[in-house]
Amino acid sequence: MEFTATQIAEYLHGTVEGDATVKVHDFAKIEEGEAGKLSFLSNPKYEQYLYTSKASIVLVNNDFTPQQPLNTTIIRVENAYESLAALLTLVQKYAVRKTGISTNAHISTSATIGENAYIAPFVYIGENTVIGKNAQIHAHCTIEDNVKIGDNFTSYANVTINDDIQIGNNCILHAGVVIGGDGFGFAPSEDGSYNKIPQTGNVIIEDNVEVGSNSTIDRATLGSTIIRSGVKIDNLVQIAHNVEIGENTVMAAQTGIAGSTKIGKHCVFAGQVGVAGHINIADGTIFGAQSGVPNSVKLPNQILMGYPAIAVGNFRRSTVVYKNLPELQRTVYELEKKIETEKK
């Protein structure tokens, strides 16, 4: 598909500066812009590329003031990054979707598949499973018995969804995701060995949830592990049994949440955050990368970092002290030596 700057500006409620008739058919990063492609500028660090970019159209924020002459058409919008996302979503909406059920897929006779589904070769769908309209289920996915999945579901290759899982509308599971594997439940015995505790609960995933590649969400020991609407989970994230994650919380790669922890709404977890079990995290909490969280966070809307996670301002001041510890230690030794000398 091809669009003019005028058409794009009308869709985004933006303003064109430059050639309003110029057309684009694809997207590119601003530093790799080419004729016929659209790019965007939202981070000032990349402004230098705007003046040399060959992209035909560049989205910029309304308050952007160029420091040099421009060789491209710009469209001013309220938020360039959000506008790019809106355009990408529009293009994806009109992309050709696969349909049809492969003869090499195994679908149990008691399963129900909604209309306009695509089911690739070597997919397995178990007994009494119900899948809504417009599903896209790619090769080698396994969906076990008594699973309930809403409309517009996408699962990429090698996804595993175990028994009794519930998934809402508009959810996306990327390659290698496992939903409903057993939680890590073992009881120590007197001889030092461990006895497995059966995990008899399930997982409930609400609407508009996306889970990144090779992430895992364990079933509950009893009851449900719950992922609320709008949650976005990156690759290689571990969600343990009986965890509850609040609406519109996001988690970056290699985050791990231990069992029975309750996380509030609109929280942000940067990469490699580790959260202990049986604690509560208040709404709006933001954790910096590699933070360790051993205790509950009771006050909402804090930014925390470090181990144990503390207010980010305190963490930054603490790192300055930590970096200077060798010098501080040397000063202390010198003072001790001076005191001992004066005593003599």
Residues assigned a catalytic role: 241
- Angle of helix 80-93 relative to helix 5-12, nearest 10 degrees, comes to 110
Give me the DSSP letters along 115-157: TT-EE-TT-EE-TT-EE-TT-EE-TT-EE-TT-EE-SS-EE-T
Q: Give me the phi and psi of 273, to 5 degrees please.
A: -80, 135
CA gap 38, 23 in Å, rounded: 9
Q: Is the peptide bond before 300 cis (omega within 30 degrees of 0)?
A: no
DSSP category for residue 39: E
- Reference 125, options 114, 139, 111, 138; nearest CA is 111
Residues 6+ apart with CB under 8 A from 245: 226, 227, 228, 231, 239, 251, 257, 263
The β-bridge relationship of strands 256-257 and 274-275 is parallel
- Reference 52, options 82, 75, 29; nearest CA is 29
